[in-house]
Amino acid sequence: MSHTVEILSVGTELLLGNVANTDAQILSQGLSELGLNVFWHTVVGDNPQRAREAVAIAKKRADIILTTGGLGPTCDDLTKNVLAEAFGKKLVFDEPSADRIRNWFQRTGRPMTDNNLQQAMLPEDCTVLPNDWGTAPGCAFEAEGVHVIMLPGPPSECRPMFQYRARPYLLSLSEGVIASHTIKLFGIGESTMEAQLRDQMNAMTNPTLAPYAKEGECELRVTAKASTDEEAQALLQPTVAQVKELFGSKVYGVDVPSLEYAIIQTMREKELTLGTAESCTGGLMAKRLTDIPGASQVFKGGIVSYTNEIKENVLRVPEHLLTQFGAVSKEVAAAMAEGARRVLGCDIALSSTGVAGPDRDDWNNEVGTMFVAIATQEGTYVRALRLGARPMRERLRIQTASHAFDLARRYLAGLPYKD
Amino acid sequence: MSHTVEILSVGTELLLGNVANTDAQILSQGLSELGLNVFWHTVVGDNPQRAREAVAIAKKRADIILTTGGLGPTCDDLTKNVLAEAFGKKLVFDEPSADRIRNWFQRTGRPMTDNNLQQAMLPEDCTVLPNDWGTAPGCAFEAEGVHVIMLPGPPSECRPMFQYRARPYLLSLSEGVIASHTIKLFGIGESTMEAQLRDQMNAMTNPTLAPYAKEGECELRVTAKASTDEEAQALLQPTVAQVKELFGSKVYGVDVPSLEYAIIQTMREKELTLGTAESCTGGLMAKRLTDIPGASQVFKGGIVSYTNEIKENVLRVPEHLLTQFGAVSKEVAAAMAEGARRVLGCDIALSSTGVAGPDRDDWNNEVGTMFVAIATQEGTYVRALRLGARPMRERLRIQTASHAFDLARRYLAGLPYKD
């Protein structure tokens, strides 16, 4: 049986644009992974009449209604009242939930006002979804052929409540288990990747293969459904192997969060150290590397050399290279990486220099002209990039940093720098 | 007349959770500022039947329907077809739009496939909204008492198309003009700010005052409606002046995008140069400064010193400070800023050192213990921060960088470093 889902979010802050509806995004990802079809997102404010009308519409077209928000005491528990009413249910006082709420306030040392216990009023005969991340419990029930699941709105509560409460409930609706692996690629465009796989993807039913793209990287998610996890893994393995074979050195990992994470992890295992010398990326490489907890075991530091003076004085780039080739050149990229390796005393150094825009540089290099380099004990390699002027400044910088990381992961894996 | 708006987004990528619906957020902000009531967000996929049903619902309950997405050649121009049909309109070929599309491909040097010209098919008698940021034109029309406005989906097109195309169209629907100013604050919590203003905010009708908070910063938006811009500005000025007076040195600017933008702008005017020495922020300060186009006139560079070795060898922090006080100390923060100022040869240097987590450091400093310093020709100042372990690593780093920027803007404005 193929389920159709509507995500109904309740919250005036969404309609005012104070926040983006990231709950709907996260839930949509999770639901899609379970093989459930999300066909509608709806947002209404803290308004009973419009909420009632939205529920009436959802009830007619979806067989799973997943709500977020409107559960707390400040909004009069709008969502629970409206959903219970729509399905002819009473709200009843749930003593275990009241206890949890009282305990929560005790533990966090905050005074509890009486309206907080309203949160323990739940639709009769529902499955209570205990909230370990806040005060408002969620709940789930089935009525008139529709499954209703209500989750709190704050993303820090909504995400774990979906993962640990709603997901198991939804899994019990579907038979068997769902497992997935994510294959991460760099150096291939989404459209090229899709073109190579489209026929195969369309022909697959279990496992399925879904492409995603963001910020110059691509990923392929392979998802299988089976009665046990072992069976699901057995279904996944041939496809994972086949995709890895097909895209070869463009695959940088399976189930790893990012290129920089993959580098830090490998270098930690190999006990190698890393440093950076950045011009056009202006600190972004260092920032991305140090976003990773524990990066300090690998990353020694970096130099952001936004002027020629600093390239010369701190990175020891020979002056004649700067005057002969200009700061945006393969010669300077190489000298920056080599300089950083010496000055920072690290095993591997990465560098970037280029024109991130909005204007051409003094040497009339076009926006998007970028060089990234790697210096190791085995030598130095420079990759020249023409990223074009169309991406925004922020995006050009992200892609350039990723290309530098790609050189490091290729070096670490013993792969050629260029396919 | 009070208008009610539904934002209808068309895109399967939203329902799969590949992206968050940031278009709806940005449009909601813009619409709210125009005094228009956004009552519904709806998302459907690239599916004609469900799109048709969603339009039928929207048509009954809203008098402005603003659509995003589904305009490109790959989705068969779903949105235009469905909306035109719903309001009994034909699509007709718009020659000027076709010219713009041909020019776009010529200018960007990419081959144009024929299906791109489908994008020039627009509802008869509509107002064409030319797209200078992509290929698919937007359009607007009024029929059956409903205003329909269609915008492209990619955020890089949707945002400017709203700002420069849809907004003027919507302004013509409302009588008079709407003007607003945004007062930016640093060093005050949202709840404290709200508490000081709540009664006043609730009592105000024109202008109105709305608070926003993000990443440790706050802003207050003052919005007025009047028959001319002059009148609106006259309404705004007393409130802006009053808020500035109330929050004093915590106000860092009006209508400026960010702390770092304010610093770069002031330093460019004063022809001063800036450098950074970062430990716990790991390049984030440099990254944020160089996010700003034209930063190179002010920012000379930075050193990310993630190890004591680099603090000593590159930043020239005296070894005895590191052994006596540890890397996370006010003494080392000061020495880092002073070292950076000398090594980088800049007028002002900012530094950061602290424990961003997840664990305490070797000296058993708690997560959230941070020091930021500023070194200038007039001396050095260190601010100690206890940000607590509750915010996430990323957030701790953002707040720490902002505190360093706050020192710079206070120095530049001749304000005391501490209130």
Q: Is the pLDDT of residue B44 over 80?
A: yes
Sheet holding A369-376, edge to edge: A379-386, A369-376, A348-354, A274-278, A299-305, B299-305, B274-278, B348-354, B369-376, B379-386
Residues of A whose CB is below 8 A from B358: 293
Which residue in chain A has the smallest CA separation from B54? A40
pLDDT at residue B1, rounded to an integer: 52
Partner residue facing A26 (CB), from B17, B41, B314: B17
Strand spans (E) along B11-69 = 37-44, 64-68
Spell out the residues 6+ positions from residue B401 whose beta carbon is closer than 8 angstroms to its own.
Answer: B281, B284, B285, B288, B352
d(CA B142, CA B127): 9
Q: How confident is the model at residue B143 (pLDDT cuts 50, 70, 90)?
A: very high
- The verdict on a CB contact (< 8 Å) between A282 and B291 is yes
Task: Specify the pLDDT at position B410.
Answer: 98
| Nearest to A150, CA basis, from A77, A94, A56, A53 | A77
pLDDT winner (highest mean) among B201-205, B219-223, B237-241 = B237-241
Q: Which residues of chain A have pLDDT under 70?
A: 1, 74-76, 108-110, 175, 390-391
Helix (H, G, I), strand (E, B) or coil at A214: strand
Closest residue in chain A to residue B298, using alpha carbons only: A306
User: Chain B closest CA to A93's CA: distance in Å?
Assistant: 32
Looking only at Cα atoms, what is the longest distance across chain B? Answer: 81
Q: How far is A125 from chain B (nearest CA, A)?
A: 31
What percentage of chain B has pLDDT greater than the value 70?
97
**Who among A287, A301, A309 is closest to B307 (CB)?**
A301
B245: closest CA of chain A, how far (Å): 26
B17 vs A25, A305, A343: nearest CB: A25
Asked whether the beta carbons of residue B304 and residue A306 sit closer than 8 angstroms, the reply is no
A294-312: b or e for each residue (b if 16 or more CB lie within 10 Å)?
A: ebbebbbbbbbbbbbebbb
Give the number of beta-carbon pairs within 8 Å between A and B.
227
Asked if A289's CB is within 8 angstroms of B14's CB, the reply is no
pLDDT of residue B408: 98
Q: Judge whether A296 and B307 are in contact, CB under 8 Å.
A: yes
Structure-model confidence comparison of residues A43 and B212, the more confident one: A43
Q: How many helices (H) and strands (E) does chain B have?
A: 15, 17
pLDDT, position B18: 83
Which of A16, A50, A293 shows the shortest C-beta gap to B28?
A: A16
Query: Is the model's pLDDT at B390 over the cut of 70?
Result: no
Contact across the interface for B50 and A40, Cβ inside 8 Å: yes
Band of residue B284 on the pLDDT scale cut at 50, 70, 90: very high
Distance from CA of A95 to the nearest CA of B (A): 30
CB A163 within 8 A of CB A129: no
Contact B18 A212 (CB under 8 A): yes
**Residue B419: pLDDT band by 50, 70, 90 thresholds?**
confident
Q: Which long-range contacts (CB under 8 A, 24 or more apart) does A115-121 make?
A: A115/A73, A116/A73, A118/A73, A118/A76, A118/A77, A119/A71, A119/A72, A119/A73, A119/A77, A120/A93, A120/A94, A120/A95, A121/A77, A121/A80, A121/A91, A121/A92, A121/A93, A121/A94
**Is B41's CB within 8 Å of A21's CB?**
yes
Contact call for A40 and B39, based on CB within 8 A = no
Residue A294's closest chain B neighbor by CA? Answer: B358
Q: Which residues of chain B are within 8 Å of residue A295 when distances are taken between CB atoms?
A: 282, 306
Query: Are B21 and A24 inside 8 Å of each other by CB?
Result: yes
* ipTM score of complex: 0.77
Confidence of residue B391 (pLDDT cuts 50, 70, 90): low
Report, as an integer, the average pLDDT of B283-293.
95
At A74 the pLDDT is 65
Mean pLDDT of B247-258: 94
How many helical (H) and strand (E) elements, i.e. helices and strands, does chain A have? Answer: 15, 17
Output the pLDDT for position B75.
Answer: 63
- Inter-chain CB proximity A38 and B15 less than 8 Å: yes
Nearest to A43 among B41, B53, B276 (CB): B41
| Contact state of A306 with B283 under an 8 Å Cβ cutoff | no
